[in-house]
Amino acid sequence: MTDAAATFAAVFIALYIAHSVGDHWVQSSCQAATKGLPGWKGRLACGRHIIGLTATKALVLAPVALLLDLPLTLAGLLLGLGLDAASHYWADRRTTLARLAQTCGKAEFYSLGTPSHPAHPVTSQGKYAPTLGTGAYALDQSWHILWLGIAALIIAAL
């Protein structure tokens, strides 16, 4: 039987891979653009993203668990993936994560790479030069990875 530490490691790696695929390849452009909007339009777009993301995590984790004969329980999977999905939804509504960054003194870093940052990137003409390397993205992804670790621990321990 696989020990708990090895199970945790295998589950975390599978979830990390699936997170990257689900957050960047499975998520539609429409979901990415509208999931942070106020009201039902944003909530529903974020919900659709979370469904696709969680399905991706389950699809990637299943063969890993089967091929490695991991001792996973339905309760652990439901609790771990459910908590991960809820934390991802919370952060991807955007205003929530922005408020957390503000509360933690990370507002300037959160705005890094955007026009609201005092040292935002500019073109040779002095206009804003968009970049994917934003502080908001870095904080978003580190938040998700934290919860992937928590989910993997729950899945491995239950």
For the stretch 21-47, pLDDT in tens is 999 999 999 999 999 999 999 999 999
More confident residue, 132 or 147: 147
pLDDT, one tens digit per residue, over 37-92 is: 999 999 999 999 999 999 999 999 999 999 999 999 999 999 999 999 999 999 99
Structure tokens at 30: 């429409």
What pLDDT is attached to residue 124?
77
The helix/strand/coil state of 126 is coil
The Cα 137–Cα 143 span in angstroms is 10
Assess contact for 34 and 45: CB atoms under 8 A.
yes
* Rounded-to-integer distance, Cα 30 and Cα 2, Å: 41
- The Cα–Cα gap between 137 and 132 comes to 8
> Residues 104-111: what's their mean pLDDT?
90
Structure pTM?
Answer: 0.88
Task: Work out the average pLDDT over 91-109.
Answer: 94
